[in-house]
Amino acid sequence: MTNGKGWRPYLLILAGAAVGLGAIAMGLPAWAGSLVVAGSVLVGAVLRLLVPDGEEGLLAVRRRRTDAVTFGILGGVLAVVAVSVAVQWMTGR
């Protein structure tokens, strides 16, 4: 990790989450920012599967498959919650 490549996937996911939270802070509906954060976490799951060993940086906590499944479940749950809130917001409930 001395060449700096290990930080790239982590910083990409972190930037996506920051954009989502920043969108909420700027006044967008919470469901919209949450969808961006969920998408960022799902991208993290894909990157954890695709990035070679030694370059995954802080995305690697456990084994590759365990990390990817964990990120995928977390991102999926975030997306489902955000969509359910969006549906309620759009229908006026």
Residue 20 lies in a domain: yes
Give the structural domain span for 52.
7-91
- pLDDT tens-digit readout, 18-65: 999 999 999 999 999 999 999 999 999 999 998 888 777 788 888 989
What is the number of structural domains in the chain?
1
Owner of token pair 């084994």: 63
CA torsion sign for 42, 25, 28, 87 is positive
15 within a domain of the structure (yes/no)? yes
Is residue 2, in this structure, part of any structural domain at all?
no
| Reported pTM | 0.86
